[in-house]
């Protein structure tokens, strides 16, 4: 289901040849339109007609208005149930494209060609689609699998460094929650660049894929993938609502630091383990300034996290390096202490 | 999964008691708010908190704007993943409520309590949810099953006659496509009223349920349920786009007449069979004036029917009384002849 593409995209061409699609709709943003679409079109061999659907780049576009426009375009172009949507882009494109495809005429087929490290290792895998609502991330969406995921690592060379670093946060997370050896190989990387990261992508994808296969509907072990995301999502949402969006991985790196400390406060890991996790994350990520946000504004958003039930905030917390628990309910006091801990790091 | 409720709603109360929901959101329109909600609330026994979500009545409300409002309300009220949505109403409520529930936080549970004959015998069964887009019916939606369907036939007494007659069209269809005996019992009804119809509801629901279970994703036999709906949907959409919505069953009755004649033109049934079907439908349904619509406007909409593939119009057509084929592609000439046939009935 996940295929690393040859330079001639032969596996994609075989896929298009074997299936009987009626037409192709390629969803891009202005960046992937410029940098990735020419590579795709230059290698794609098919007799099918295709259309390009372009949206503006950015998380701010992942909303119901954009979804509505895309549904209307598909309708106007008379896309039928055998049409194929190709999502060519980062997490916004794969989340949004998966959502509109899985709901247009109650579901047409789609494939993901993730172009960022984040979407390769995380967003494009796992059958979650979604859009944001009122600054809450992925509040509306479906569980729907792409027919295939095609990875072309050279697309990473088209990206700014910050995007690479953002995706690297999810790779670190995969090591931390499930595979100590993966974590330890990753932290051997001193200069973060495409060359250093590419050899580790497959392992990181496999961890994600493995967890998802064990628990597609996120009833148990899949929740461990939310490590760093409870507080991380809150801060990401607050930044987005202020018109200053940050990259997902930047928020997750910050969230993992808070939640590693929280795991220590909840007696799940030792102080030394927490410190080692935190120091290594800090090696790659600059301090994220959260001084504009009160504790109340952060914890208010935690209350509406999708993972919660019965008005309790559920955390996924490390129980060691390479293992993670879920549905762990923390005291309000410890949640606030973990934020206080993060705020103090600014002066350290 | 389909339960006929006792007067004390005991089966609903048992269901709510056995499951561990966090909260209940009851979706109603202004009509079911006035006529049905008091009956539900008067009988519902639960300790759970509940909220009423009211939308305006009418197919015009089954759009993305209303869906967006409902998602926002659920978000503001911090509905969690263990919340239950109860859809109390006709097809608009069960289609819309199922859609927003199946996509809010990637899916929360919902039950249907259909209050119209149409939703009892058709819309609430089968796991299809959806909203309209640009006057195309159910262009966006999901396949998602309600946890339960509860039927309370006395709700039918709250409805105007036209609503009853609308639902009766789907019952006739169920007989025509799958059960000659059901058709023959139904056409014994001389005075169409609640008392005459209620004894036949269970059979009609069972036919729909049976077809759906055999082919949930509408790859084959489920398509037979679309008999009368290809032309019917076109005319329904045209009326809606002109601001003069008609009831779904009125459109389906008109569509069944055209498509019965079309089945004869395509040599699938005899002229006598077609005539008998058409005459019996005419006994219950007044002529629907389509003189405002050109053949071109009707056939243009046929082209965007969800059932089509490869730019061909697929019909589900009777092959006898009680049997039906699907994916039958008709000549443009015969489609136009069937519309001409219907136009002539006005003067007959």
CB contact under 8 A, B139 and A82: no
Of the candidates A226, A327, A345, A324, the residue with the CA atom closest to the CA atom of residue A269: A324
Quote the pLDDT of residue B258. Answer: 98
Tokens of A164: 């690479």
List A87, A112, A226, A314, catalytic entry? A226
Quote the pLDDT of residue A232. Answer: 96
Distance from CA of B138 to the nearest CA of A (A): 7
CB contact under 8 A, B78 and A22: no
Quote the pLDDT of residue B308. Answer: 66
Burial of A73 (0-12, 13-18, 19+ CB in 10 A): middle
Query: Residue A24: pLDDT above 80?
Result: yes
Mean pLDDT of A56-62: 91
Residues B317 and B176 sit within 8 Å (Cβ to Cβ)? no
Angle at A319 between CA A316 and CA A322, to 5 degrees: 95
What is the C-alpha to C-alpha distance for residues B35 and B158, in angstroms, rounded to an integer?
7
Report yes or no: B299 at the A interface, CB cutoff 8 Å: no
Tokens of B289: 């004036």
CB contact under 8 A, A136 and B309: no
Active site residues of B: 106, 128, 170, 208, 218, 222, 226, 229, 233, 248
Q: Searching chain B, which residue's CA lies closest to the CA of residue A134? A: B72
What is the CATH architecture assignment of A161-345?
Answer: Up-down Bundle (1.20)
Residues B122 and B170 sit within 8 Å (Cβ to Cβ)? yes
Cα-atom radius of gyration of chain A, to the nearest Å? 20
Domains of chain A by residue range: 2-158, 161-345
Q: Is A28 helix (H, G, I), strand (E, B) or coil?
A: strand
Report yes or no: A270 at the B interface, CB cutoff 8 Å: no
Residues of chain B positioned with their CB less than 8 A from the CB of A103? 103, 140-142
CB contact under 8 A, A78 and B303: yes
DSSP one-letter code for B104: B
Phi (first) and psi of residue B113, to 5 degrees = -120, 85
CB–CB contacts below 8 A, A to B: 101
Which CATH fold topology does B2-158 show?
Rossmann fold (3.40.50)
Quote the pLDDT of residue B291. Answer: 94
CB contact under 8 A, B142 and A22: no
Tokens of B231: 């032309």
Residues of chain B positioned with their CB less than 8 A from the CB of A304? 75, 78
Quote the pLDDT of residue B309. Answer: 64
Average pLDDT, chain A: 94
Quote the pLDDT of residue B348. Answer: 62
Tokens of B113: 């309590």
Q: Searching chain A, which residue's CA lies closest to the CA of residue B64? A: A68
Contacts of A327 (CB under 8 A, 6+ apart): A223, A314, A316
Tokens of A197: 């990261």
DSSP one-letter code for A8: T
What is the C-alpha to C-alpha distance for residues A20 and B111, in angstroms, rounded to an integer?
37
Report yes or no: B106 at the A interface, CB cutoff 8 Å: yes
Of B22, B71, B107, the CB nearest to A309: B22
Q: What ipTM did this prediction achieve?
A: 0.85
Is the pTM value of this prediction over 0.80? yes
Of the candidates A238, A249, A255, A232, the residue with the CA atom closest to the CA atom of residue A134: A238
What is the C-alpha to C-alpha distance for residues B244 and B102, in angstroms, rounded to an integer?
30
Tens-of-pLDDT digits for all 348 residues of chain B? 789 999 999 999 999 999 999 999 999 999 999 999 999 999 999 999 999 999 999 888 999 999 999 999 999 999 999 999 999 999 999 999 999 999 999 999 999 999 999 999 998 899 999 999 987 889 999 999 999 999 999 999 989 999 999 999 999 999 999 999 999 999 999 999 999 999 999 999 999 999 999 998 888 999 999 999 999 999 999 998 898 989 999 999 999 999 999 999 999 999 999 999 999 999 999 999 999 999 999 998 887 766 666 667 899 999 999 999 999 999 999 999 999 999 999 876
Report yes or no: A140 at the B interface, CB cutoff 8 Å: yes
Residues B305 and B230 sit within 8 Å (Cβ to Cβ)? yes
Query: At A57, is the pLDDT very low, low, confident or very high (cuts 50, 70, 90)?
Result: very high
Residues A54 and A28 sit within 8 Å (Cβ to Cβ)? yes
Q: Is B132 helix (H, G, I), strand (E, B) or coil?
A: strand
What is the C-alpha to C-alpha distance for residues A39 and B57, in angstroms, rounded to an integer?
50
């Amino acid at each position: 289901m996940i295929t690393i593409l040859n330079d001639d995209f032969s596996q994609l061409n075989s896929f298009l040849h074997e299936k009987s699609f009626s037409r192709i709709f390629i969803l891009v943003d202005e960046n992937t339109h410029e940098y990735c679409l020419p590579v795709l079109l230059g290698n794609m061999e098919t007799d099918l007609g295709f259309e390009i659907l372009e949206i503006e780049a950015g998380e701010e576009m992942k909303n119901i208005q954009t979804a509505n426009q895309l549904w209307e375009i598909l309708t106007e172009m008379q896309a039928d149930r055998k049409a194929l949507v190709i999502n060519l882009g980062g997490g916004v494109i794969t989340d949004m494209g998966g959502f509109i495809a899985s709901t247009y005429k109650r579901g047409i087929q789609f494939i993901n060609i993730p172009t960022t490290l984040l979407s390769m290792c995380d967003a494009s895998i796992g059958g979650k689609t979604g859009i944001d609502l009122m600054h809450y991330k992925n509040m509306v969406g479906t569980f729907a699998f792409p027919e295939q995921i095609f990875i072309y690592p050279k697309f990473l060379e088209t990206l700014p460094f910050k995007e690479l670093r953002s995706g690297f946060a999810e790779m670190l997370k995969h090591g931390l929650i499930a595979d100590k050896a993966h974590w330890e190989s990753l932290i051997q990387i001193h200069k973060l660049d495409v060359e250093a990261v590419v050899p580790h992508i497959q392992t990181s994808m496999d961890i994600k894929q493995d967890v998802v296969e064990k628990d597609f509907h996120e009833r148990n072990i899949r929740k461990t993938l939310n490590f760093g995301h409870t507080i991380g999502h809150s801060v990401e949402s607050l930044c987005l609502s202020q018109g200053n969006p940050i990259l997902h991985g930047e928020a997750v790196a910050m969230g993992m630091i808070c939640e590693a400390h929280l795991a220590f406060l909840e007696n799940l890991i030792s102080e030394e383990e927490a410190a080692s996790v935190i120091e290594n994350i800090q090696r790659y990520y600059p301090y994220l300034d959260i001084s504009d946000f009160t504790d109340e504004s952060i914890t208010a958003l935690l209350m509406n996290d999708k993972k919660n039930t019965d008005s309790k905030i559920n955390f996924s917390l490390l129980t060691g390096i390479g293992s993670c628990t879920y549905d762990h309910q923390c005291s309000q006091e410890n949640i606030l202490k973990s934020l206080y801990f993060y705020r103090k790091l600014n002066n350290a």
